Structure formats: C-alpha cells, structure tokens
Amino acid sequence: MATASAHHTARTQADEAADEAARTAAYEVVFDAAVAADERIEPRDWMPDAYRSTLVRQIAQHAHSEIIGMQPEANWITRAPSLRRKAILMAKVQDEAGHGLYLYSAAETLGVSRDELLDKLHSGRQKYSSIFNYPTLTWADVGAIGWLVDGAAITNQVPLCRCSYGPYARAMIRVCKEESFHQRQGYELLLALSQGTPEQHAMAQDAVDRWWWPSLMMFGPPDDESSHSAQSMAWKIKRHSNDELRQRFVDIAVPQAESLGLTLPDPDLVWNEERGHHDFGAIDWTEFWDVLKGNGPCNDQRITQRRRAHEEGAWVREAAAAYADKHTNRAVGSTSTTGETGATRA
C-alpha cells in the first residue's frame, strides 16, 4: 500500500536525520575541544559550516586586499625618485602578489576555488580592505602606506599566526615576516623625507596627515558594532577585539611619529597615565561606512582596473589552457616530453 510505503520512507529518513544530528553533535564536541586546547584545525577535519564560511570570507577578503593593495603602490613604480627606491617598491608589490597567492591557496583548502573568489571580488560580492580606496597622491604616500598601513596590518595579522585554522595561521607566519620588512622600509623612506629638504619634509607630513585616520579604520568598527567579532573570538580565529588592536597600534605609532619628526593629525591625542595608554580622538565612522559601501575616492577605479586586467587577460589564460590540453594529450601517447617543461633547460 502506498501509504505504508510512504510511512516507512519517512521513518527511515527521520532515523537517518537523527543519526546525522547525533553525529554532528559528536563532531562538534571534538571540534570545540580542539579549539579550546589551542590545537590547529586542518582541512580534512570536521568543522561547523559557519566556521568554514567565516574563514572563507575572511581569508578571501584578505587575499583580495593584497591584490587590490598592489594598485596604490604600483601607481608610483614608474615615478620612484631613485633606482634603490624603485627596486624596493617593485619587490614589495611583487611580495603582495605572492601573499595573494598564499592566501588564495589557504582559502582553497576550505573547498572553494581561486576563480570563484576572484569572480566574487570582481562582481562586488566580496570585499577588500577599505584602506586601498584612498589615492596615492605623492611619493611620500608610499612611505606612509609602508609605515602606517602595513603597521596596522601587522598589528592585525600577528595574532592571526595563532589562528585556530592551520593553513591560515601558517600563511600568516610567512606574510608577517615580509610585512614587517616592508613596514621598516616605509618608515625609513619617511625618515629620509622628514630629514630631507623642507619640501620633502612637508610632503611626508602631508602624507601622514592623510593616511593616519584611514589606518585607524583598518581595525574595523568599534567593538559594540562589530557583527562577526564575538563568534570569531570564540572560535579563536580572532584573538583580540578591534578596539584592543587599534589601541595597541596607536601606542606603538605615537613614539615612532616622534622619532620621525612628524606629527599625527589628532589634537586629542594624549598619554593617559592612569590607563597606561594613549587617548585619541573620535574616528569619523560616517566616512568609514561610506568607503565600505563603495563611495570612497578610488572604489570604482580599483575594481575597474582589476576587472579590466582580468578581462584583457582572458585570451592569455585561454591560450595557456588550450596549450596545456594539446600537450597533455600528446604526452599521454609518448614517453618523451623534453623541452616542454622548462626543467630540462640546461
């Protein structure tokens, strides 16, 4: 009878669902215990769907930031004022492309593909750090980005070296080493300007004036408005709150600005003996949300350039794929592939 059979099917499904739920609950206990014990979660381990999707979002956004972040600096490669500075800047932009590659690989361990993520970047469904929507107007901006923007990034990223997800934590260890180097180079660039001619000093001060507040915004919204923070901290993806990290950055930057001989554009910035920290002025959150929504000075320009590079490169990627297809097919029927791999060149 149809009804009996339907009943039977429904019961089997219910049993399976109960098993599935029990299994998930059991896995969740193991997962929570691993996180609590500061063990690393690895790609083949079970993880909650929300943990996976949070990580994909965060790592992808981080990778996209490296790629979009190449633009404001590459803007000055062809105008760098000495060959030494030009070499440093080229190496830095190259490192950023490399960081993008590590991070897309880390994201791919979570079951997404780089192409899929790039597509989301190009269509605006995934974001990148809002700092890169500000323009680099003078050479000193290259130094300010190194000192302040990379400095803020490092403050954010050093704790990520202990993030609960293994591939991300390991990528961050490599990234942080190179970033600290870039930051020192940025500081040294600004120092040369600050101690240079009056025009160079003014150029350095102007850059710091323009990059200071956007750098503080890199830590994200205040703790009471940060939607992902609590869960990310519970999962040990994040180790400190936005406001804690921001405070840490200010405390480090103030003495560095002094030794640079430059001022920070905040009349309320003062040492608070009682707190043992610097107090600082209010951030313009309206500007922050505005830039995040796409209305910053360079949002359109950045994404348009990225899309154009991708679209104009389509024929190159198609050629590489077609070539690989032809030559894989040929190689199957032949024992010799010399000359096609590059490894054979003496």
- Binding segment (CB under 8 A) for other proteins, from list 22-30, 39-47, 151-159, 185-193: 185-193
Task: Answer yes or no whether residue 317 interacts with other proteins by CB under 8 A.
Answer: yes
Contact pattern from residue 228 through residue 257 relative to other proteins, giving x for each residue in contact according to CB under 8 A and a dash for the rest: ------------------------------
Residue 248: Cβ within 10 Å count: 17
Contact between 87 and other proteins per CB under 8 A: yes
- Minimum separation from the CB atom of position 329 to other proteins (A): 13
Count other Cβ atoms within 10 Å, centred on residue 67.
22
Q: Which of 320, 328, 331, 337 binds other proteins (CB under 8 A)?
A: 320
Could you say which of 44, 49, 275, 345 contacts other proteins (CB under 8 A)? 345
Choose the stretch contacting other proteins; rule: CB under 8 A; options: 1-9, 80-88, 215-223, 224-232.
Answer: 80-88
In whole angstroms, give the CA distance from residue 268 to residue 279: 7
Determine the interface stretch with other proteins among 18-26, 77-85, 152-160, 261-269 (rule: CB under 8 A).
Answer: 77-85
Residue 221 contacts by C-beta under 8 Å, 6 or more apart in sequence?
Answer: 242, 285, 288
- Using CB under 8 A as the binding rule, whether residue 23 contacts other proteins is answered as no
Q: How far apart are CA 299 and CA 129, in angstroms?
A: 11
Q: How many helices (H) and strands (E) does the chain have?
A: 14, 2
- DSSP per-residue string spanning 130-155: GGGGS---STHHHHHIIIIIHHHHHH
The span of 39-47, 267-275, 283-291, 311-319 binding other proteins (CB under 8 A) equals 311-319
Q: Which of 319, 168, 317, 235 is nearest to 32 (CA)?
A: 235
Smallest gap, in angstroms, from Cβ of residue 203 to other proteins? Answer: 9
| Residue among 45, 48, 98, 239 that touches other proteins (CB under 8 A) | 98
DSSP-based three-state secondary structure for 271:
strand
Convert residues 272-291 into a mask of x (bound to other proteins by CB under 8 A) and - (unbound). Answer: --------------------
Candidates 40-48, 152-160, 161-169, 186-194; binding stretch for other proteins (CB under 8 A): 186-194
Tell me the per-residue interface mask from 26 to 55 with other proteins, x by CB under 8 A, - otherwise: ------------------------------
Q: Looking at the chain, how many residues does it have?
A: 346
271 phi/psi in degrees, rounded to 5: -70, 130
- Tally of CA atoms within 13 A in the half-sphere of 250 that contains its CB: 27
Query: Least Å distance between CB 13 and other proteins?
Result: 45
Size of the site for other proteins (CB under 8 A): 54
Q: Angle at Cα 83 formed by Cα 79 and Cα 88, nearest 5°?
A: 85
Give dist(CA 239, CA 123) in Å, integer.
31
Distance CA 204, CA 138 (A): 9
Interface residues with other proteins (CB under 8 A) are 67, 70-71, 74, 77-87, 90-91, 93-94, 97-98, 100-101, 104, 139, 189, 192-193, 196-197, 199-200, 305, 308-310, 312-324, 326, 339-340, 342, 345
